[in-house]
């Protein structure tokens, strides 16, 4: 399944580790001040302490320090070239001692090129049935990710599965618990502890949007927004740039391929900041990643598939067998009995 604000503070002095030990978080530090090997080593020790990192031997620690230094240089360069004050920011988060390759292997699926699947949906279009002219304020839903991980065996647990398998299980189980009743433990294939008395949400069906070759950007964004007004939306995208994300609006500038999706996330709301529209997206990396586990992803860009293909393969639960939203030339499939991945 794969399945969610930083302020940079200038330092007065960086000559030793004691000069940075009084700061609450390493994410509060001005990384441009760390230039010498001694300063970087002190920063690494602070990072290790903050994240409880312990290595097996000196060789492993030296290797991780070198990776940390390379990541630090990358983060500084990217932050220095941000397009605007609202652009996304990178920081030395809990993934700062692993390479991009290690991050992708451990936390993402193998990239899937779905560019050939766009023509699949060019059939029987209906007109939009919901109005997006006066959408309500954004909201968040918190259902149990761990219950899905433990109980939905077809979803392949933490190794990457499909959202429609999860929806099928919720229908068969007659509901799903909240994260409060069935908390997230980050365990892979734990024992299924589903208890129908804890089921807080039930669904009757599930639907999806799959873009056709004739879809336009306004149509796909409006269709996805209208669906978001009804419930959270499960979407797939290229998430390799999530590695060091700490805040701001992500515009997908470093996506390697428009269709190379490798991760599922959950759209839970939307917003705008100084004329820039964005999705509020819940990730599955924990609350100590991003903005308390969330990322803002730009919407209404000049591309029908959205930032890093976020519009391409969206799916959502349906309650009371209500008619599924669709927009012109965007197919709604209430079964979603196949995946374009």
The CATH topology of domain 17-105 is Helix Hairpins (1.10.287)
DSSP for residue 138 = P
Length of the chain: 341
Specify the higher pLDDT residue, 219 or 117: 219
- Percentage of the chain modeled with pLDDT above 70: 72
Specify the higher pLDDT residue, 83 or 115: 83
Reply yes or no on whether 263 is catalytic. Answer: yes
Residues of the chain with CATH 3.90.70.10: 112-332
pLDDT at 114: 56
Of these residues, 86, 163, 243, 263, which one is catalytic? 263
Specify the higher pLDDT residue, 29 or 155: 29
Reply yes or no on whether 159 is catalytic. Answer: no
pLDDT higher than threshold 60 for residue 202: yes
Residues of the chain with CATH 1.10.287.2250: 17-105
pLDDT band at 16 (very low <50, low <70, confident <90, very high): very low
Which top CATH class is 112-332? alpha beta
CA 151 → CA 141, 158, 181, 187, 337, distances in Å? 20, 12, 15, 12, 20
Of these residues, 283, 300, 303, 311, which one is catalytic? 283
> Which residue matches tokens 């639960």?
317
Give the tokens for residue 285.
């990396």
- Report how far residue 165's alpha carbon sits from residue 108's, in angstroms, rounded to the nearest whole number: 18
> Which residue matches tokens 């991009």?
100
Q: What is the mean pLDDT of the chain?
A: 77
Q: What are the pLDDT digits (tens) for 84-97? A: 999 999 999 999 99
pLDDT at 227: 86
pLDDT band at 76 (very low <50, low <70, confident <90, very high): very high
Mean pLDDT of 216-229: 85
Kindly report the number of other CB atoms within 10 A of residue 177's CB atom.
22
pLDDT at 95: 98
Mean pLDDT of 74-79: 96
pLDDT band at 304 (very low <50, low <70, confident <90, very high): confident
């Amino acid at each position: 399944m794969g399945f969610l604000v930083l302020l940079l503070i200038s330092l007065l002095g960086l000559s030793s580790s004691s000069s940075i030990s009084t700061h609450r978080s390493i994410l509060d530090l001005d990384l441009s001040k760390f230039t010498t090997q001694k300063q970087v080593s002190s920063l690494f020790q602070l990072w290790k302490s903050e994240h409880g990192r312990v290595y097996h031997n000196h060789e492993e620690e030296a290797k991780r320090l070198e990776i940390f230094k390379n990541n630090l240089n990358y983060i500084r360069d990217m932050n220095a070239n941000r397009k605007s004050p609202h652009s996304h920011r990178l920081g030395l988060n809990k993934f700062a001692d692993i390479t991009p390759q290690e991050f992708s292997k451990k936390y993402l699926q193998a990239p899937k090129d779905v560019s050939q699947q766009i023509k699949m949906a060019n059939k029987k279009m209906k007109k939009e049935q919901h109005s997006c002219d006066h959408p309500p304020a954004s909201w968040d839903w918190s259902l149990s990710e761990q219950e899905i991980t433990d109980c939905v065996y077809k979803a392949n647990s933490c190794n990457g599965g499909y959202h429609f398998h999860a929806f099928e299980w919720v229908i068969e189980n007659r509901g799903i618990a909240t994260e409060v009743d069935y908390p997230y433990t980050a365990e892979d294939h734990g024992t299924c502890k589903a208890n129908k008395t804890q089921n807080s949400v039930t669904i009757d069906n599930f639907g999806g949007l799959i873009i056709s070759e004739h879809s336009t950007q306004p149509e796909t964004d409006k269709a996805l927004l209208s669906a978001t007004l009804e419930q959270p939306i499960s979407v797939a995208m290229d998430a390799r740039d999530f590695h060091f994300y700490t805040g701001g609006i992500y515009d997908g500038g470093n996506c390697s391929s428009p269709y190379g999706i490798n991760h599922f996330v959950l759209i839970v709301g939307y917003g705008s900041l100084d004329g820039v529209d964005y999705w509020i997206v819940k990730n599955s990396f924990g609350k100590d990643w991003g903005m308390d586990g969330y990322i803002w992803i730009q919407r209404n860009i000049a591309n029908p598939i959205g930032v890093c293909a976020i519009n391409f393969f969206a799916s959502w639960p349906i309650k009371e067998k209500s008619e599924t939203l669709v927009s012109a030339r965007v197919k709604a499939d209430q079964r979603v009995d196949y995946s374009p991945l």
